[in-house]
Homo-oligomer: A and B are copies of this chain.
Amino acid sequence: MANKILIADDEPDILEILKYNLEAEGYEVITAKDGDEAIEQAKKHSPELIILDIMMPRKTGLEACNILRMMPAFRDTLIVFLTAMSDETTEIKGLETGADDYLTKPVSPKVLVSKINALFRRFNKEETGIIKVGDFEIDRQKYVVNHNEEEIILARKEFELLALLASKPGKVFLRNEILNQIWGTEVIVGDRTIDVHIRKIRQKLGVDCITTVKGVGYKFEL
């Protein structure tokens, strides 16, 4: 599913150009024309990435970034500054505020798009609701798994199990870990239960991307 990007800049032209290019790349774009609106829109849409112009009316990009970083919901959101300023001090301040990147205008839209793709490429593996591994796309929010454009329907436990394993591809999850993560410490289920769910997932996915590590646990691999 499309990643959401919020762009805040007070120049309508720039907003337009970036929006056009990012949408062409498949992102869902939200815009804001000043710092306050940026924060408002961020709260409303929870974008995965926020691009902030530094020089904006009603709160600069730096201020907006600081405020957003205070809120738990945006602690891990990607934030990129975009500005005409080539002021080194500001740049450093921006990065120390907790931005992930810093771009100086004029930026070619193509370069910007590439950088953003690069950020998402790495970032998506870790914290977004959407996990992308190989041909798989696992959407935590929508409870949907896509494999090569085809939608696979999994039951809740199956989904959670797959999502857990796929959240760290390659990592071996111990049976205990799995039980705690998915069933919690309260409920007690037999060991066979995990097997059975693993079996169902393997059946439904068709491809065998869940490897058994005997005596240890399971892992997701391509």
Interface residues of A (CB under 8 A from B): 88, 91-92, 95-96, 98-102, 108, 110-111, 114-115, 117-119, 121-123, 139, 141-144, 155-156, 168, 170-172, 213-216, 219
A111 CB contact (under 8 Å) in B91, B119, B216 = B91
A156 CB contact (under 8 Å) in B123, B142, B144, B216 = B216
Sample of 9 further A-B pairs with CB below 8 A, known A95-B118, A100-B118, A142-B172: A92-B114, A95-B114, A100-B119, A102-B115, A141-B170, A141-B171, A143-B216, A156-B214, A156-B216
Per assembly, the copies of the chain total 2
Chain A binding surface SS class: mixed
CB of A108 within 8 A of CB of B88, answer yes
Residues of B within 8 A of A172 (CB): 141-143
Q: Tell me the bound Cα distance from A98 to B125 in angstroms.
A: 14
